[in-house]
A and B are shown apart, each in its own frame.
Chain A
């Protein structure tokens, strides 16, 4: 199978500080790829590089066979969408207006959203169970609701790859599960490729087909959850002793802290 997104020996530095280096990675159609790693291991940088927000000084990124550099911002936004960790709206927009922002890369300069744009936006609202507050101000929503609206906006971009930066960091158990179930259904039903950065090793283990573990900006291990999420890997990368057993329901690796 041909990958949609290919990273070849990608490196990015903030001034003197090298955030990621020598990243070789493929993202395939319809897969869920989890990115794990401790704070400062380069997870967010890697995601921003994959969305073209940061332009790597080293290596190159391809969408199918075309390098990123050949794409304009708006073309790129039709291929790859990103859901950031946090989002602040200074001015009051309704949920629907926020989701319609996702149509920006599909519209010409002075064009207004049309019937099809509305359909796409409403579908995205439905998929994320946010349709009921379509006409409410984004300021009135809770953290979990807002997070789902931002995912809806990313869906409205109709991308092939969707990048999520710790989508569950502020959410309680129920919403965490909901978000990951949503991610899972997007990849299954819509064939979307999802790349998700998370601090939650167990959820990553449960929902991702492939997992990458980053250490100091490089890929330390890549493979199926069983291969990557092991006690020795986690101890080496996170510098913290752990117990790894199997989740009785899914058979996937499960991480606990020793006393």
Chain B
């Protein structure tokens, strides 16, 4: 068996997001949908943007991003949350980490 179907990366990503969205909605409702995409947004996306600047494979970037994101994002949000509103801390942490990713990219180029 040789599974070689032509798939564009963008289409794949869209299929995956649709699958996750549908699945979340069906089994965990709108609350579950928000949680799943919230988790992906804050734990995955910023770390991926940072790791994307380094010479490692895409699958490595994807898996490391999530595992690192859980620790790094929540650590920063925790410390900010000691001084300011926790919800605001989450927003600031997100913006900060995304900026770090973008700046590294800019700096490296």
The answer to whether A and B interact is no
